[in-house]
Amino acid sequence: MTISQMVTSRAAAALDVSRAARSSKLSAVVMLAAVAVLAALPFVAFSNVTDTLVNLFVLIALASMWNLLAGFGGLVSVGQQAYIGIGAYSVIAFADQGVQPYLAVPLAAVTCVIFAVPTSWLAFRLRGDYFAVGTWVIAEVYRLLVVRIDSVGGGSGKGLAGMSDLDQTLRGALTYWVALALALATIAACYLLLRGRLGLSLMAVRDEETAASSVGIDVRRAKRVVYLVSAAGCGAAGGVITVSSLSVNPDAIFSVQWSAYMIFIVVIGGIGYIEGPLLGAVIFFGLQQLLADYGSWYLVLLGAIGMAAALWLPRGLWGLMRDRTGLSLFPVGYFVRGRDA
């Protein structure tokens, strides 16, 4: 062994490499306690509180899926409302066939994956801005197709069957728990995907697709995996929206406004961080509750906040917090420190 190799070996032995920072372990305990409190909330809070929180959980799920797609996969989509709509109508169709609506939510996610496979072959022929516009066009095509299907209500929409037999209080609690499970599942899916080899491949593809391909990364496969996962998450969110509202309308469920919400949440929260959609969704949800009565000024203020965040906080609020505190709730990289630190 040469002297340089000996020095390198001793330096490596003096370092401690781990997948979690010390602060992450404490934050994990805090998050588990928060989840336990949220799960018990229907027993101690009024139904209007839990009904409102369902919207927050849906926003977290949708933003997490868009962040996985754009923040880690480099696929900026303006058409994820396609899978929200497909998921919503899948729940309607399954319920009409006698499937319990809550059980239809995961089936809606699977249905969206099935639709996303051929859709991805078309969408991935586009790049950059063309991909973004193309996904929006695809979503509009799906909406126009649904409008022409009389069995699901056509242009006027349709009510959800199979819910009238449930007690209203029980129905509200079940909807709340399903929405909470959806939010937790989407966050966990992002975390588990990004901690593995796929996560490294995605970030390489996002940073420089040509270079990633040159070192042996299957770029198309990595993109397709996150596209399908994002479609499943958005489809399940659409299903939760349906069981919460008990009806679906094609113009509302396929609205590009859903993509606008996702983009806004991720931009202000922090794109490229798992924690970003969580923080952004809470802020967006708070703004909705405070400013919804102000009509058009509510939208003007949201636009101003979004532009300010894009100009002065390109990494979002969580990026700023991460730079100043080093806090990471969901570490997906490696932490290196001295053993005596």
Residue 232 lies in a domain: yes
Mean pLDDT of 55-67: 96
Of 12-21, 117-126, 179-188, give the lowest mean pLDDT range: 12-21
Q: Do 26 and 341 touch, CB atoms closer than 8 A?
A: no
Quote the number of domains for the chain.
1
Residue 339 lies in a domain: no
Q: How far apart are CA 31 and CA 329, in angstroms?
A: 9
Residue 340 lies in a domain: no
- Best mean pLDDT range from 39-43, 59-63, 269-273: 59-63
Residue 338 lies in a domain: no
Q: Which residue has the higher pLDDT, 279 or 208?
A: 279
CATH of the domain at 285: 1.10.3470
Domain that holds residue 159: 19-332
pLDDT for the residue numbered 99:
94
- Flag whether pLDDT at 72 surpasses 60: yes
Q: Which residue has the higher pLDDT, 340 or 135?
A: 135
Alpha helix (H) ranges present in the chain?
Answer: 3-13, 22-44, 47-66, 81-96, 101-123, 128-147, 168-195, 197-207, 209-214, 219-245, 250-253, 257-269, 275-291, 296-312, 316-325
pLDDT for the residue numbered 141:
96
Residue 9 lies in a domain: no
- Flag whether pLDDT at 3 surpasses 60: no
Phi, psi dihedrals of residue 337, rounded to the nearest 5°: -150, 160
Residue 13 lies in a domain: no
Residue 93 lies in a domain: yes
Per-residue pLDDT band for 225 (boundaries 50, 70, 90) equals very high
Residue 4 lies in a domain: no
Q: What is the DSSP string of 284-323?
A: HHHHHHHHGGGTHHHHHHHHHHHHHHHHH-TTHHHHHHHH
Of 196-210, 213-227, 315-329, give the lowest mean pLDDT range: 196-210
Percentage of the chain exceeding pLDDT 90: 54
Say which residue the tokens 């193309």 belong to: 134
pLDDT for the residue numbered 47:
83
Under DSSP, is residue 167 helix (H, G, I), strand (E, B) or coil? coil
Mean pLDDT of 90-116: 96
pLDDT for the residue numbered 12:
46
Q: How far apart are CA 121 and CA 128, in angstroms?
A: 16
Per-residue pLDDT band for 11 (boundaries 50, 70, 90) equals very low
